[in-house]
Amino acid sequence: MTLFTKVIGAATGAALTCTAFAAQADVLFGSTQANPVEEQQEMREQVLSGFGSPVDYQSNDGGAWLTRLNAELQAGSGSIGALGALHGDFSAMNPDDLVDLTDLGLSSNSEKFNTLAKLGTDQMQYVPWMQASYIMAANKQALQYLPVGADIDALTYDQLIQWTANVQEATGEPKFGFPASPKGLKHRFFQGYLYPSYTNGVVRTFASDEAVVAWEKFRELWSHTNPGSTNFSFMQEQLLSGDAWIVFDHTSRLAQAFNDRPDDFVAFPAPAGPTGRGFMPVLAGIAIPRTAPDMDAAKALVTYLLKPETQIATLRATNFFPVIDVALPDDLPPSVKAAGAAVAKMSASADANPGLLPAGLGDKGGDFSRVYVDTFERIILAGQDIRTVLDDQKVVLDGIMKETGARCWAPDAPSEGACPVE
């Protein structure tokens, strides 16, 4: 095994050296976003080709991305010029490792995003780059089973459960699909959708009686969920294969279904609970590490990515929406139109209860999400008692909040110090 590891290590080392040499002249854009091969291709050919000088776009898994970046930061010299990642990836970093981008004069059209991009300092540590959200999508075949009187654009969780039950009764198979695999984004559903919709909070109300109701409801929904969901991470695949008819996922993880067969699927807002229609945004940003080999070229790239034309090209390539005010052209791909309409309906609904991204958690963002994933695995998969699990996990969550001192974010009521778990 050791020999094997060593051989692999040597090979990786050699490969990295080769890439480093090859990439020296270009700006290396290391990203955790636009990871699927087709999106990488689009990024290179449609988005970055207009930059003037060549850009070496390398998209990686969050872990690999951070490992390489940290190695470069520790070594004090690096080859990565610009970083593209989620807000959560950046907030796990030391702000000093990112170059202050305030003097570029770039910002998004959302003050909330601009504040998040400061990472708790008073300067722009990254520039908001693109945004997305999570929505629901369904196969049109499922529409006939909608409960009587239900409006697909204003569903409640009860109606959704009824709907999935109707579908199961009619087809004999559970057809709700949920991205519950290790790479799936299930934790965002709990943090941004289920909890806000039932408890009007995420942290404060973690173990409240309303939370027990929320989990009971989710357990009910789960009984109409394809049990294979624990292997699903991109719900577009199950929509296309027909394994799931009604699904929840990130807009860009549903895109392929709409683009391949635009007439077969509908996109619609997330359901509402007793405390409103909870939903949350996804925010990606661009930053420059302090070890960037060519600072000017990297800054030029950041500026280029925030141009209206580039933002629209990025939208086409990745299904992430612009963060600046742009006039969207009419010939956008079907996925963008469908997702854009659903998100717009969701935010404009009377009972909208928008949440914010977790802030101030630093490198504990992973542990924070793990609390929700563990709660899911224990309650839903292992069938443990809801109250017991919540009381158990509450201690862990409280520890994380106290350790980081993170204040409450919407929809939780603001707090003086660390957000308390009540």
Residues at the site binding another protein, with contacts judged by CB under 8 A: 1-2, 6, 9, 61-64, 66-67, 92, 172-173, 181-182, 226-228, 230-231, 241, 243, 363, 366-367, 370, 374, 377-378, 381, 392
Question: What angle (nearest 5°) sits at the alpha carbon of residue 59, between those of residues 53 and 62?
Answer: 140
**Crossing angle of helices 295-305 and 308-318, rounded to 10°:** 80
The Cα–Cα gap between 160 and 164 comes to 6
- Whose tokens are 């006039």? That residue is 327
Q: Which two tokens stand for residue 74?
A: 């520790």
Task: Count H helices and E strands in the chain, helices first.
Answer: 16, 11
Smallest distance, another protein to C-beta of residue 367, A: 6
Q: Residue 408 carries which side chain, given as an amino acid letter?
A: C
Smallest distance, another protein to C-beta of residue 230, A: 5
Q: Which of 6/140 has CB closer to another protein? A: 6
Going by C-alpha positions, the residue among 92, 89, 117 that lies closest to residue 104 is 117
- Sequential DSSP letters for 4-39: HHHHHHHHHHHHHHHHHHHHTTSEEEEESSS-SHHH
SS3 state of residue 152 = helix
Report the DSSP beta bridge partners of residue 156. 272
Smallest distance, another protein to C-beta of residue 32, A: 12
Q: Which of 118/370 has CB closer to another protein? A: 370
Residues in contact with 162: Cβ distance below 8 Å, sequence separation at least 6, in sequence order? 147, 150
DSSP 272: B
SS3 state of residue 283 = strand
For strands 127-139 and 321-322, give the pairing: antiparallel
Smallest distance, another protein to C-beta of residue 258, A: 22
Going by C-alpha positions, the residue among 81, 91, 106, 93 that lies closest to residue 31 is 81
Are 218 and 282 within 8 A, CB to CB?
Answer: no
